[in-house]
Every structure is written in structure tokens, then in C-alpha cells.
Amino acid sequence: MEQLQHFSHEHPLLFKGEAPQKKIEASSDPPVLCSACDDAVLGPNYSCDQCSNHEFILHQSCAQLPREILQHPMHSNHPLLLITSKSRSYRRYACDVCRKLFEGFSYTCSECRFDIDIKCASNFKNIGCILHFSHKHILTLSDNPSGGGPPVYCIGCLEQVLGPSYICKRNSLREKSCSIVLHKSCAELPLEIQHPMHRQHPLMLNLSGAQECHCDACDQDCSSRFTYNCFQCDFNLHLKCASDWKDFQHFSHEHPLLFNKREASGQPALCSACEDLVLGPNYSCNRCSDFILHKSCAKLPREILQHPMHNKHPLLLLTGKSRSYSQYACDVCRKSFKSFSYTCSECSFDIDLKCASNFKNMGCILHFSHKHILTLSDNPSGGRPPASCIGCLEQVLGPGYICKRNLLREGSCSTVLHKSCAELPLEIQHPMHHQHSLMLNLNGARECHCDACDQDCSSRFTYNCFQCNFNLHLKCASDWKGFQHFNHEHPLLFNKHEASGQPALCSACEDPVLGPNYSCNRCFHFILHQSCAQLPREILQHPMHNKHPLLLITSKSRSYGRYACDICRKVFGGFSYTCSECRFDIDIKCASTFRNIDCIVHFSHKHILSLSDSPSGGGPPVSCTGCLEPVLGPSYICKRNLRDKSCSIHLHKSCAELPLEIQHPMHRQHSLILNLNGARECHCDACDQDCSRRFTYSCFQCDFNIDLKCASEKGFKHFSHEHPLMFKRGNKAKEYTGLLVICDGCQDPILGPSYTCINTYRRRKCCFNLHKSCAELPSEIQHPVHRQHPLFLLNSIQNIKVRCLCNACNQPCIYRYNCSICDFNLHLKCASNWENIIGNASHEHQFIVLPMELADLHINCHICGDYWNGSAYYICSICQLLVHQECASLPRDIKMSGHQHRLKLTWFLEDIYPKDQLCVVCRTSVEKSRAVYYCHECCGYVSHTTCTILAYFREEENPNRFSADDDDEFDDDGQIEHFSHQHLLLVNDHRELVQDERTITCEGCIRPINTITETFYSCTNQEQSCHFFLHDICARLPAKMFIPLLHSHVFTLLSRAPSFDGVFQCYMCGIFNQGFVYSCQECASPAGDNLFYLDVECSMYWRDKTLKHESHAHQLLLCTEWEDVYCRGCGSDIFFCFSCKKCNYYLCISCVKLPLTGRHRYDEHPLELTYASAEDELGEYYCEVCEGTRNPAHWFYECKDCEFDCHPHCILGRYPYVKLGSTYKHDAHAAHHVTLVSKWKSPIRLDKRDNILPCEKCGILCKGLVFECKECNINFHRDGCCGTINLESSRSSPQIKELS
């Protein structure tokens, strides 16, 4: 029998191939344990027969363990010795790898007090442990490094750890806990690499400590993180540059080039491309010390297809080695170079790099008239006699373009061009040749004449139409001001000065031509004034004849040669404006200057009326047709030619100029039209006098008439009296001797201008009088004494029994300003004598601090409207303002980043904007009695003080309101790495897909994705059953969002809510959701509960706060103030909503989210969202799905073809954004998985389909979202808070309410 003398035991050990008989004989006894590993011995072993009862026994494998391990991966600093419990100073030990307690053998380092049990010593790779150079303890792989606590960060890259990582879990009994965390990828980085940026030596992975360290590639700080270093050369690379580095291979050099942000030390080198000093970023070769390029030179294009200096052929970028000649002369600047050049080998054209990119700054052009490049010169003659321009053949005395070709390459060129001639347009449109464009051309030796001036224009620039053989030299082309007149067949030439000799007569107006004119060079008898040539062909509505348009015609166009003007009655033979239907002719002078000849067309007469100083003409006096009074001064008369009967119409100048339409205070309903009453009987409604056969102002709709005298008097209808009031100028107080008249408004005597009832004025029995000032009081005012509400002007004459006292003077008042809400009255004298001492931009008076205890009072601030209790408050006794301490100390002006001007503070907005205004921050109404900030330069820019101050400080703390993820994560190949998924996502563009009938759901918003019309991302590992999809907009959501009007903290985007099942209830709409969520981390409780959750769709509403819904004609605004209103869609009370304040229209957020169409398995047609029900004769409305009653005023889905009506929740489900049917492991039911289901009581009484069971824990019925175990037929509350009803109770959505 085999024996073994083991170092740990004094007796020899015998080998046995079977387990000890004790195990077989008595199965009830505990198994025999190995003295080394403390495990049961069930196979071959070594045991001591001398020690009774199997006191010492070893597994065969444990007996053959080595005594010493020189370098163990878990502890490579010192050897590990195999010792027993008797050899250690402590009996039990904790393994430094798995942290379990053992009493058997251990591998120990006494220097480091390191213990590892024999299992971990041999199988450490299978338990996910490593020993990393960056930490002295063993690191263990973990799937949840944060353990539900705050986020942790990797010590290698300093980024947040969101997936599997290595952590240190040192026992706190031995030493302090270590919070070291490493990404799995960072922990598995190679310790040594060869990098193209530093080929001299290998780079070692190192953890930079507190010392300052910068990356030699990107110059970023890489202290306190992993870097690859060469300590010999002091070279550093951080992880990103080490992994993403790509060499730059330039076509002109055989080795890869390295990028350097700073210039090289020592003497500056010359660029191998442009031969300039390299003083900034550059590319250089580590192997070839003489090759270096500017960053800009290294990125030059290899080919320029069309360069302005040489557009015939492409230019190729060549080096000195690529050319057949090493040195070249630039064809632009004529300097010699040996470096790179842009070359055209066909034309032997070379241009250096600077001239190729900056040719415009060097004054060089390529002109069609010369084959070489022309250069701008201030002295083109160069001291020699002046040269002539090849374009105009005139001397060049100023700046010009010249050609300076080198004599070594080809012959000298003496071409010179004026700067103006060189910059002429190559193509023009000219009035002398409308058919085609004219092209700039250099005429050669052929004879050529200008078609305008008939001068020779050979051997110079001309504008030509080769198709028509038409030529114009430069002077005629530029100085020409001519056109083709409709009345003449030839083009007309413009002449600035009159023609020499006898003045000619204008062919249009027959007056002498003494100034600028248009004439025909071929027809000497045709000439026009410049003004006559530019007359319009047609006048649509002329004041002298507005029935039909007037056409400009000539004598040739008329059937009669000469004509008599219908205004001045003179005879003409030239042009005329004519109406052929009415045989109306007017000469062009009268047509344009009719106002200067005092002519009008009046509605009361069909002919033109002329102003006359003596209308009677020495005969008997005549009467005015308008007022039937004698005409004694200037008036308008009709002087028709004797070919018609004479018209004896006369009008006073004042009557002829009366306005045709007025707004009169005696008839405010409609406008009054000036009218000439005929034979019909008519009476004035003001004075009851006959106004037939004269001018009256009438409203034909109401049969209201008023004569001219009453219309001119200042009368109006006052609200306090049933009759119209007439204005009386009155006498001065010193001259008044009659009976005093008392004002019915203020009860003071009337001694000046006043308004009196027309019945009294016309000696009828009505005695009502008002001061002019009392009658013109505004009906509504905002008064400093009572700023809470507006005051309305009222009177108590009709009800004498009601006795009103003024709240200011305590005196009785008949006319007073009243606030019906507060029962506040103000006498007219008290209202008008109150001193207005309010400033425009800020408060002018000092507040007084009154140390008054307000603990028992309920007072609201007049500025912000908030209630408070405090020890003191601020008051302005002049303005009667009671304000908070914070409101009293508001800054007078403030600067917001979203507006270009400073905002000023005003305490009373009505002084600046009398109409209602909206706050530009929260988009709600601004009450005019409160202080606001406004911009005095931009009309309508107003904001609440609280909105302005809150937005100002939030901008100081969070300069970036929305912080989106870096766009670099969206690769060009369409793949992205999203934080919500472990695999890469691939973009699916709807334009590249065929029709796909699959129904897929976005994991962000839990809405269906239309694969035909929408762009979305899908998981690249779909072959491994990973079906993850995201809308494009959901993939680009900002990681942080700050909404100051909703919450004071920043919202953070999470891929799922931290609840048990990922379900949360949106704070705005109250709908349950299982997608992405914006959460406030600062408001979260230690247990993970949080009230401030926002789903993705609600967060988007805060971007612009406006919405256009099909149910309403106007645009809806997001309401941020909670009001006592009800939703038009579902009738529920609303917290957040979209509203149209103008129409008193409100929609809750959940109704806004309803899709316009839906489907149900019982109906083959799509169902449309309907906003109102048709009236039913029986008045009964039911849902076709649940058979419950339906409110006809609420929205529903309808199929008109099938008469199929149903509740929205019966089509979409109670929880459309929750993944019902998902299974979870519930703590209260460990036997089986539970399923998330929706359970609601049927509206039908005693419906057998109801399956609502009590909760297994608390006994209360489970309704709404419920966890169900179908195998055991038991239910649990979803929220886990037994004893309370579902979360819907706090803020219910109409989609999840149970119908009554």
C-alpha cells in the first residue's frame, strides 16, 4: 500500500482509492472533511490510520499541492508558501480573493499578510479576478459596480462606469474599503505597445499621478488617468489618441508624416512645399529630418479643375522631382521657385502655391483679349511715353493691367488695358437691341461701324450681336439712355441738352422742347420731352374719370384728328388720355396737373367742376346745391361746352370738400355717408328740421339722417342719458349773467363749454347738462388708490334710493368710479385730483419699513401676488403699494442673454402698455396692476418679475439650458453607440427601405415606428434575438434638460425609471410610461421614489410651448399656471394643458397625445378621432366595445361607415405606453414569475368577465396595473405599497380613469 509523508502531519499517510467507510455505513453521519480544503472527501485520498476517527485526511489533489508558488498572478511581489492552520498565528483566515472564511491550508505571504485558499489559488481565472498594476489589491469583475448608489467613475479614463467593470472589495475588518473601479476594457489594455507617433521606443501603460501631464498628440491634460509613456523621451499619449491615431501619408513622401501642433525647437525649418518658415502646426517625417510641411500645405488639393488664371486645362500639384525642370518661374508673380507648383504640362504653365490661392490679392486677371496673365500696375508706362489701351485706343494715364512675360520664355508683350476696360461685363442687355444679348469682343482688322453713332469702331472693344450683325462701341453702350416708344417705329436717343437752332415742338404736348428730350436720328420731325416720353400707357382710375380706364393715344389712333380737352376746353392735336366709351378726352397736362387747375369730380354731378371766383358771372346770386344757401365766394361750377346743355350746378368750396364718410358720436353703430337727398321728404334726427333736396349724412341701414349743421356740431351719445347731447361753447365766467346751470355729473355750476341734451337745446322739456370735461371722462381707468382692479364710470340718477359714498372723501356721489368686486367708489373730484407720481422705468419713491407683526393677517403682495406671513413689510404711502422685501429690492434694470437690450423695471404696466400683454418667458397674461420688466426699445417685450429673476439666475448657474450628447457619436456609416443599449445601433432610413408591414415599437417613447416614412435605429445584433429600436429623434435626446418654469433642478435622461418594473407616471400628463424618462436626481428619495418624472413627449412640449391641433382653429399655448378649468376632450380637471385664452378653449396633455386614427379588431376600417357627437333621438350614447355609456360631449373614436363609436381607452388601452405582459421576479412570490397586466371593472353590472382579485399581501382589490401569477391565480399591487390605492389617485389621466 502506497505511503506518503506529508509536511503537515507527523505520521505517514496511506493512499486509499475509496471514500472512508464511515460515509457508507452510516448515511446519517456527516461526511469526512479534508484537512486542507474543508470539503467532503468522496474519492481517492490520503489518511492517517494512527489518528482515530479519520482526524487527518487529505484529497489526493490536496496532498500533491506544491509547497511554494514563486509568482502567482494574484500576488507576484513575493513567493506564496503553503501553510496549515497550526503554522499561522491566527486559526481562521479570510481569502483575499473570494473573501470567504477558511480554517484549512492557505497560500500565504507573511510580509504582505496575504492569504489565498487553495481553490482560488488554482482556479482564479474562473472567478473573474485580476491583479492590476494600478492597484495593490485584487480586482473582481462585477456587473453592477455602483450597487444602486451614486455613479462611479473609472480610474483609467475618468468616465462614468455603466457596464461590467472590475472593483476592489477589501474587507473593512482588515483595512479601509477601497472604491477603485475599472472599465473591463481599461483593465484589459496591453501594458506595452508600438505606436507610429513614437517609433524609437515602446510605450508603457502607466497611471499618471498628481503630476501635471499633457498628451503629445492633442495637447490635452491627461493627469490622474491611464497614459502610454516613454519615460526615456518624456513622451505621453492618452488612451483616445493612442487608439484612434491614423498616420498621414502624403503623396510626395514615402514615409508617414506625424502632426505637430507647435513649431520645432531650434532653428526654424523651411516648408518643402512653399519654402516659407514653419512657425506653427506642421507635418514632419521622423525618419527624414529635412522633410516638413505646413499644415495648410499638406492639405492642398492634388488637382484644380478650373483656376481663374488658367481655365483651359486642370492644374496638377507637382513637386520638384516630378517636373522635368527643377526650378521654375511663376507665370503670375514671375518669381523663381524650386518647390511645389500647380502645373499645366500642355501649356507649360506654372504657378506657385501662394499665387494659386491668393491671386485676387495680387491684382492679377486672365482676360479674353490676351493669352497671358495681366497684372495690375500703378505705372504701366514705366517712365516711357504713355501706352494706348487696346480696348478703347485711348492713353493709359492711371492704373492699368499689363503683361510682363519673361523674355527667356517667349517674346515680350506690350498689351495694356485700362482698369475700367478690363472690368467691363462680358455680356449686357441693351435697349437698342432687345432681341439678343450683346457680347464684348475685340474687333480685329475688319472694318466695323457703330449702329448708334455710325462711327468706325475697328481694332477696339465693341459689344456685338453676331446673329444680327449689330455693333455698339463702348461709349454708346455706356452713355446710352434710349428706348423704344410705342408710338414710333425707330429707337429714340436721349439728349441731355436742347437741340441747336429753332426749338422743335414736342409731338405729345405740342410745347417747345427746351431741355432733356428723346429724338429719332432717322426721323427729324419726331421729338418728345423726357417727361412726355415716360408717361404711362394707361391710367386705371383718374380722379376726373374713375368709371373706366384712360388710354394714352396719338392723333393717328383717334378717328378725329384734333380734340377739345374736357377739363380746360382747349383744342389739341397731340397725345390725349381717352375713354372711347364715354368720348372723354383729356390732354396730358390736365391729366397730370389737374389739382393745379382746380378741377374736381363730385358725386353730386356727372361733369367735371372747376373752381371759380365769380360763380354768378355778374348775374343774380346763385344757391349752393349742397346747403341751399347763397354762394357769395369761391365755388365750383360746371362749364360744359355748348354742345351739351348748360349745367347750372354750383357748390360752395367748403361743401365740395366735405368728407364722403364720417364717424359721428350720435350714431356709433355705422359710418354716415354724404348723400344728396332728392324729392323725398327727409328730417334731421338731431334737430328734426327738414333736410330734403340738400346734402345730408345718412345711414341707410338704420334710416338715420343728420344735416350738415348738426353733423358739424360736436355732439355725441353719452351712456348716462337717453338722448344725444349737443356741444355748447358757452361764455366766460366773468361775462356770464344768466341763470346758473348745474352739471349732472359733478354737481358744480357750468360756466364754460358744456354738453346739453338736444331736446333742451331745441326748447323741449329735458334738462340734462354736463361739463365738457365730465362728459369726456374715460369709462374705465386704473387708479393709484385702487390698483387691484379697474374702475368703471357709473351714475346713480336712475335709482335715487341708492346712496353711494366715496371711499376717499366719504361724501355722497352720483357720478363715480366703481369697482363692483370690492364695492369701491371714488368721487369724480377725488379721481381727477389724485396726483400721478409714478415713474416710467422704475419706482421713484422710497419704501417705508413698518415693523408690524403679520402672524395673524393674511396679506398678499401687490407686485407678485403671493401670500406671506412675516415680521415686517414694505409700503409706499404715495402709491399705496404693499410689497415683499424681495419685491421692494428688485433691480431697476437687468440684462438677459436671450435679448439684445437691457430690461427696465416698471411698477405699473398700464402707463406704458394700456392693452393686455403676454409674458415672453411663461407665455401667460401679465396683470397690469403688477410690476414687470420690459424693453423700452422693443415693443411688446414684457416679462413677469419672478420669471425674469428666476431665468437670470438659472442662466448664471446653467449657461447651457439643453446639453445634448456629442455629435461625434453619430458616425458617418450610420452606426451609433447609445447609452441605453449594450450593442451598436444602425440607422434605417425610410427612403432606402421597401414597404415593411412589421409593427415595431420605439424603446424611448413607446410609440409605434412607421418603417415606411420614419427614420429609426435598430440593434446590429438582431440575429441574436436582440430587437431594440429607437426613433431618430429619441436617439438624439439631450442628456440634460433645464425647465425653470416647471422645476428648479436639472432633469437627467434615464433609459428606464428606477422602479421595480421601469414603469413611471409622468408629472405633466399623469400617464404611465415604460420608456425613457427625464428624472430629477436631486429630488429622489433614498428609496428611489421620485415625483418629478417627465416622459419624452412631454419634455418636447417645453421647447416652443405652442401647438396646432385639428380640433381648434387657433394656435394653442402651453399653460404653466394651474387653473380651475376643464378639458374639452375628456371633461377632466386640468393641471397642465394647452389653451386658447381668446376662445376659452383648454386641452389636457393626455388628449393632445391621442392619435388622430386608430384600429380595432371588431372593425375593418380605420377609426377617426371625433370631437363632437351627432344628436341622438333617444339621447343614449354607448361604447360599442365595452357596452358602457358614453358622454356625447367628450371625444371618441368613430367609424362612420359602420356606425361604430367607442371610448378612446377602449381602442388604445388604459396603458398604451406600458409593455403589458412583461414578466418579473417578485419578492413576495418567489415560486413563479409574475406578469404585469391591466385590470378594470366592467361598466356592465354583474359582468362575468370581471376578474378583479384582492391583493395577496394587503387584501384590497387590485385594479389598474397589477402583477398576476396565472399559475397560482393571485394578484399583487404593482406599486408595492399595499394599503394604498394605485398611483392614479394623486394625478389621474382621463385615459386611466374608470368610467362611472
The three state secondary structure string of 1232-1289 is EEEEEEEECCCCCCCCCCCCCCEECCCCCECCEEEEEECCCCEEEECCCCCCCCCHHH
Higher pLDDT, 566 or 992: 566
Higher pLDDT, 345 or 641: 345
Rg (alpha carbons) of the chain, rounded to whole number: 50
**pLDDT score recorded for residue 1283:** 40
Closest CA to 124 of 107, 112, 110: 107
pTM of the predicted protein model = 0.34
Q: How many C-beta neighbours within 10 Å does residue 501 have?
A: 6
Cell numbers that stand for 1087 in this block? 428609496
End-to-end CA distance of the chain: 90
**pLDDT score recorded for residue 85:** 80
Please report where in the chains the cell 480544503 appears, as a residue. 37
**Are residues 1017 and 1042 in contact, defined by beta-carbon separation less than 8 angstroms?**
no
The rounded distance, in Å, linking the Cα atoms of 506 and 508 is 5
The rounded distance, in Å, linking the Cα atoms of 423 and 429 is 17
Higher pLDDT, 462 or 753: 462
Please report where in the chains the cell 425609471 appears, as a residue. 1057
**pLDDT score recorded for residue 433:** 78
Reading across the β-sheet that carries 848-850, which strands appear in turn? 848-850, 873-876, 881-883
The rounded distance, in Å, linking the Cα atoms of 1195 and 1111 is 10
**pLDDT score recorded for residue 28:** 60
**pLDDT score recorded for residue 809:** 58
Residue 101's pLDDT band (boundaries 50, 70, 90)? Answer: confident
> Per-residue pLDDT tens for 408-456?
344 467 788 888 898 889 888 887 777 888 999 887 767 888 877 777 8
Closest CA to 458 of 474, 471, 469, 447: 447
**pLDDT score recorded for residue 1078:** 92
Residue 760's pLDDT band (boundaries 50, 70, 90)? Answer: very low
Residue 1151's pLDDT band (boundaries 50, 70, 90)? Answer: very high
Q: In 3-state terms, what secondary structure has residue 669?
A: strand
The rounded distance, in Å, linking the Cα atoms of 244 and 1079 is 34
| Lowest-confidence segment of 193-207, 256-270, 752-766, 937-951 by average pLDDT | 752-766
Please report where in the chains the cell 354583474 appears, as a residue. 1246
Please report where in the chains the cell 502531519 appears, as a residue. 9
Q: In 3-state terms, what secondary structure has residue 5?
A: coil
Give me the long-range contacts of 881-890 (CB less than 8 A, separation at least 24): 881/787, 881/843, 881/847, 881/907, 883/847, 887/861, 887/863, 887/931, 887/945, 888/847, 890/931, 890/945, 890/949
The rounded distance, in Å, linking the Cα atoms of 822 and 814 is 18
**Is 475 a residue whose pLDDT tops 50?**
yes
Q: What are phi and psi of 188, to 5 degrees?
A: -100, 15
**pLDDT score recorded for residue 1143:** 86
| Averaged pLDDT for residues 95-119 | 85
Closest CA to 686 of 772, 775, 759, 753: 759
Residue 281's pLDDT band (boundaries 50, 70, 90)? Answer: confident
**Is 641 a residue whose pLDDT tops 60?**
no
**Is 1294 a residue whose pLDDT tops 50?**
no
Residue 1196's pLDDT band (boundaries 50, 70, 90)? Answer: very high
Residue 730's pLDDT band (boundaries 50, 70, 90)? Answer: low
**pLDDT score recorded for residue 835:** 40
Burial 311-329 (b: 16+ CB within 10 A, else e): eeeebebbbbeebeeeebb
| Lowest-confidence segment of 257-271, 765-779, 1001-1015 by average pLDDT | 257-271
Query: Residue 736's Cα: distance from chain center in Å?
Result: 69
**Is 1219 a residue whose pLDDT tops 60?**
yes
**pLDDT score recorded for residue 39:** 85
**Is 188 a residue whose pLDDT tops 90?**
no
Cell numbers that stand for 430 in this block? 441693351
Please report where in the chains the cell 461701324 appears, as a residue. 449
The rounded distance, in Å, linking the Cα atoms of 348 and 768 is 107
Higher pLDDT, 848 or 1091: 1091
What element of type H or E holds 1150?
A: helix 1149-1152
Q: In 3-state terms, what secondary structure has residue 1009?
A: strand
**Is 1076 a residue whose pLDDT tops 90?**
yes
**Is 316 a residue whose pLDDT tops 80?**
yes
**Is 1070 a residue whose pLDDT tops 80?**
yes
Cell numbers that stand for 255 in this block? 514615409
Reading across the β-sheet that carries 517-519, which strands appear in turn? 493-495, 517-519, 527-529
Q: What are phi and psi of 1152, to 5 degrees?
A: -65, -35
| Averaged pLDDT for residues 984-1000 | 67
Which amino acid belongs to residue 1106? T
| Averaged pLDDT for residues 1203-1219 | 88
Please report where in the chains the cell 377739363 appears, as a residue. 567
**Are residues 1078 and 1041 in contact, defined by beta-carbon separation less than 8 angstroms?**
yes
Residue 459 zone, left/alpha/beta (φ > 0; ψ -120 to 50; rest): left
The angle formed by the CA atoms of residues 55, 57 and 60, to the nearest 5 degrees, is 180
Q: Rounded to whole angstroms, what are the CA distances from 230 to 157, 514, 647, 1262?
A: 19, 95, 115, 67
Q: In 3-state terms, what secondary structure has residue 773?
A: helix
Q: Rounded to whole angstroms, what are the CA distances from 1240 to 903, 1031, 1131, 1133, 1255?
A: 55, 32, 20, 22, 14
**pLDDT score recorded for residue 854:** 42
Number of continuous H segments (helices) and E segments (strands) in the chain: 22, 98
**Are residues 1163 and 1139 in contact, defined by beta-carbon separation less than 8 angstroms?**
no
Query: Residue 974's Cα: distance from chain center in Å?
Result: 26
The rounded distance, in Å, linking the Cα atoms of 1205 and 1202 is 9
Average pLDDT, the chain: 78
The rounded distance, in Å, linking the Cα atoms of 362 and 559 is 68
**Are residues 683 and 696 in contact, defined by beta-carbon separation less than 8 angstroms?**
no
Residue 382 zone, left/alpha/beta (φ > 0; ψ -120 to 50; rest): left
Q: How crowded is the C-beta side of 226, counted as CA atoms within 13 Å?
A: 28
Q: How many C-beta neighbours within 10 Å does residue 83 have?
A: 18
Higher pLDDT, 1003 or 567: 1003
Residues of the chain with pLDDT > 90, as a percent, come to 2
**Is 1158 a residue whose pLDDT tops 70?**
yes
| Lowest-confidence segment of 396-400, 634-638, 851-855, 1295-1299 by average pLDDT | 1295-1299
Q: How crowded is the C-beta side of 388, counted as CA atoms within 13 Å?
A: 8
**pLDDT score recorded for residue 1088:** 59
Which amino acid belongs to residue 153? Y
Residue 1120's pLDDT band (boundaries 50, 70, 90)? Answer: low
> Per-residue pLDDT tens for 215-270?
877 678 888 888 989 988 888 888 887 876 656 778 888 887 877 776 666 778 88
Closest CA to 929 of 908, 906, 915, 904: 908
| Residue 281: Cβ-neighbour burial (10 angstroms; 0-12, 13-18, 19+) | middle
**pLDDT score recorded for residue 603:** 79
| Averaged pLDDT for residues 1188-1212 | 88
**pLDDT score recorded for residue 957:** 46
> Per-residue pLDDT tens for 385-405?
888 888 888 888 888 888 866
The rounded distance, in Å, linking the Cα atoms of 775 and 754 is 8
Higher pLDDT, 993 or 1182: 1182
* Helix ranges, 152-262 (H): 184-187, 239-244
**pLDDT score recorded for residue 894:** 81
**Is 183 a residue whose pLDDT tops 60?**
yes
Residue 962's pLDDT band (boundaries 50, 70, 90)? Answer: very low
**pLDDT score recorded for residue 852:** 38
| Lowest-confidence segment of 69-73, 976-980, 1207-1211 by average pLDDT | 69-73
Query: Residue 271's Cα: distance from chain center in Å?
Result: 47
| Averaged pLDDT for residues 884-898 | 71
The rounded distance, in Å, linking the Cα atoms of 274 and 269 is 12
